Amino acid sequence: QLQAYGGGLAQAGGFLRLSCAASGSTFIINSIAWYRQAPGEQREFLAGIRRGGRANDYADSVKGRFTFSRDAARNTVYLQMNSLNPEDTAVYFCGGNIWTPSKGSIDYWGQGTQVTVSS
């Protein structure tokens, strides 16, 4: 299970930090990343570790402003979002491919958290 939190309202130029915690008895995270979906738009990849990748990957739209990090001990990933602008307004999701003994490797999505940036 993935649970995301930390969204809210920010002013343009401000910052927010999102967190996403993975929970369960026994699991292995194959990939995990942040995505967002604005009204009327498709869900887009923002930052994270893609399956088979080793390094953090970023979308061009957030490169240099957003930072993905991971605390393996807490099974938690973060998205530090700086220099926010109104175009960053969207519902933010964490998603990943996670292996469990009972289900094997499948994709999980956390519930979205709303980020609203005012001008």
pLDDT of 64 higher than 90: yes
Within the chain, strands assigned E span: 2-5, 8-11, 16-22, 28-37, 44-49, 57-58, 66-71, 76-81, 90-100, 104-109, 113-118
| Whole-number Å distance between alpha carbons of 6 and 3 | 10
pLDDT of 77 higher than 90: yes
CA–centroid distance for 49 within its chain: 10
pLDDT of 53 higher than 70: no
20-39 pLDDT per residue, tens: 998 887 888 888 999 999 99
pLDDT of 54 higher than 80: no
Length of the chain equals 119
